[in-house]
Structure 1
Amino acid sequence: MKIIEDDLSSDATIALIRAHVTELAGHSPEESCHALDLEALRAPGLTFWSVWEDDTIAGCGALKALDETHGEIKSMRTAGTHLRRGVAAKLLDHIIRQARMRGFKRLSLETGTPAVFAPARSLYARFGFETCPPFGSYCEDPYSVFMTKSLDGPGDNAPSKSSCRQAS
C-alpha cells in the first residue's frame, strides 16, 4: 500500500469522499455532522492523503491546521474493500508523523458517539489520543467525542481553548 498526497480529482477519491459524507449523515443530525465535503477538503491549510493498493483506493484522511501548533485530523475513511487490513492505522501513523514534521505540538479530532464509530475511537485510543473538551469552534454535542494527543512527549494534554460557535 502507498500513501499519496491527493488533489481530490480522481473518480475513486471523489466516490470515497461522497460515500463517507453520505454514510456519516445517516448517523448524526445535520447540525452534529462535521464531515467535510470535496470543496471543504480543498481549502487552504488542509492536506488530504489517499491510500492505494495497486489501482484501488483503500482509504483517505486529512490534516487541517487549526493554528501554528495545533492540527486536526479530518475525513479518516477506509474503503469497504479494505476494512480490517491496517489501512487506518497506516494512515493515522502517517498523519501523526506529518503533523510532527510541520511543528504541531497537538493533534485533535472529532468523531461520533454512536456504536458505528467505536472502531475509530478504539484506533485513536491505541495511538495515544485521549478524550478532551471541544476544541476550535466545536461545541459540546451528544453525537460527538473529542480526542487529542500531545505530539511533544509527556506534558500538558489540555487542548486549545474552544471558541464555540453554533452550527448554522
Structure 2
Amino acid sequence: MDIRLDDLTHPAIHALLEEHMAGMRALSPPECVFALDLDKLRHPSISFWSAWDGDTLTGCGALRELDAGHGEIKSMRTPNALRRRGAGKAILQHIIGVARARGYQRLSLETGAPAGFAAAHALYLGAGFVETGPFGDYQEDPFSRFYTLAL
C-alpha cells in the first residue's frame, strides 16, 4: 500500500469524498455532520493523504493542526467496496506518526455515534484512543463521539 500526501485533484479522491459525505448524511442529521468538503480540506492547516494499491484508491485521511501541540484527524474513509483490507488502519498509523513527528502532545477526532460507525469506534479504540468529551469548537450532541490519543 502506497500512502501519499495528496493534492486533492484526482477524480477518485473526489468520488471517495462524495461517498464519505453521503455516508455521513445518511447516518446523522445535517447539523451533526462535521465532515469537511473538498474546498475546506485544501486549507493550509490540513494535510491530506490517500492510500493506493496500484491504481486503486483504498482510502484517505487528513490531519488538521489545531495548535502547536494538538492535531485533529479528519476525513478518514475507505471505499465501501474495499473495507476490511487494512487501509484505514494503515492511514491512521501514518497520521499518528506524522503527528508525533510534528511534536503534537495529543491527537483528537470526532466521529458519529450511531451503530453505523461501530467499525470506526473499534479502529480508534484499537489504536489506543480513549473516548473523551468535545474539544475545539465541538459541542456535545447525541450523534457524535470524541476520541483523543495522548502522544
* TM band (smaller chain): over 0.9
Q: Which has the larger radius of gyration?
A: 1
**Matched ranges for 1:19-168 at <5 A:** 19-151=19-151
Paired residues of 2:107 and 2:149 also in contact (CA < 8 A): yes
Provide the C-alpha distance between the structure 1 equivalents of 2:140 and 2:94, rounded to a whole number of angstroms. 29
Question: 1:22 offset after TM fit, Å?
Answer: 1.4
Question: 1:19 offset after TM fit, Å?
Answer: 1.0
Instruction: Report the identity percentage.
Output: 52
Question: 1:71 offset after TM fit, Å?
Answer: 0.2
Provide the C-alpha distance between the structure 2 equivalents of 1:126 and 1:15, rounded to a whole number of angstroms. 28
Q: Which has the higher helix share?
A: 2
The secondary structure found in structure 2 opposite 1:85 is coil
TM-score by length of 2: 0.98
The secondary structure found in structure 2 opposite 1:66 is strand
Question: 1:81 offset after TM fit, Å?
Answer: 3.0
Q: Which runs of 5+ in 1 are unaligned?
A: 152-168
Paired residues of 2:19 and 2:79 also in contact (CA < 8 A): no
Partner of 1:162: none
Question: 1:79 offset after TM fit, Å?
Answer: 1.3
Q: Over the residues paired in the alignment, what is the CA RMSD in angstroms?
A: 0.6
Paired residues of 1:58 and 1:81 also in contact (CA < 8 A): no
Provide the C-alpha distance between the structure 2 equivalents of 1:44 and 1:25, rounded to a whole number of angstroms. 26
TM-score by length of 1: 0.88
Provide the C-alpha distance between the structure 1 equivalents of 2:143 and 2:74, rounded to a whole number of angstroms. 16
What one-letter code is carried by the residue in structure 2 that aligns with 1:110?
A: E
Paired residues of 1:71 and 1:99 also in contact (CA < 8 A): yes
Provide the C-alpha distance between the structure 1 equivalents of 2:105 and 2:79, rounded to a whole number of angstroms. 30
Partner of 1:12: 12
Query: 4+ residue runs of structure 1 moved beyond 6 angstroms?
Result: none
What one-letter code is carried by the residue in structure 1 that aligns with 2:64?
A: K
Higher RCO, Cα 8 Å, sep 6+: 2
The secondary structure found in structure 2 opposite 1:73 is strand
The secondary structure found in structure 2 opposite 1:58 is strand
Q: Which runs of 5+ in 2 are unaligned?
A: none
The secondary structure found in structure 2 opposite 1:88 is helix
